[in-house]
Amino acid sequence: MAATADERLEAFCAFFNKLDKSCTTELYRFYTPDVLFIDPLHRIEGARALEGYFATLYENVTACRFTFHERQISGDQAFTTWTMSLTHPRLDGGREIQVDGCSHLTFAEDGRVVRHRDYFDAGALLYERLPLLGGAIRLVKKRIDG
């Protein structure tokens, strides 16, 4: 008997909260081999490519956790809002960064995710946190905001 959408989403959120460089091979339990993953910075096709992406991404991360908020499910579609807390030695002087986002997931019949799209402010995560570029972006934002 297949898991309900609620169980699938809860299991996915629990897995994502434990994801680090030591468990990227666990992706195959939650993603189909032909998964499509999209975020503001990347478009990745296939579970093998996604495993490589996460392994590289988490290689230098000091800490990363997600606090999941609202969840909406309709058929094979699910949405969840989240706050990511990330600590990386090259971003913001190694201080913890918090970025809000939303994930849109499409589940396959076997309960795994076949499509995963994340929405978040790439500037708040990355560009504003880089030593030289960050100052320039903050200056531009101040001028726009008046």
pLDDT in tens, 56-70: 888 888 888 899 999
Number of domains in the chain: 1
pLDDT of residue 62: 86
Range of the domain at 84: 5-145
pLDDT of residue 45: 97
To the question of pTM greater than 0.75 for the whole model, the response is: yes
Contacts of 62 (CB under 8 A, 6+ apart): 87, 88, 89, 94
Q: What's the N-to-C CA distance of the chain in angstroms?
A: 57
Tokens (6 digits) for 49: 């490519």
Determine the Cα–Cα distance for residues 42 and 129; give it in Å rounded to an integer: 18
pLDDT of residue 1: 41
Q: Which of 56, 53, 37 is nearest to 45 (CA)?
A: 37
Backbone angles phi, psi at 15, to 5 degrees: -65, -45
pLDDT of residue 75: 92
Determine the Cα–Cα distance for residues 116 and 103; give it in Å rounded to an integer: 7
| Tally of CB atoms within 10 A around 94 | 11
| pLDDT under 70: residue ranges of the chain | 1-5, 92, 123-146
Query: Any idea what the CATH number is for the domain that residue 33 is in?
Result: 3.10.450.50
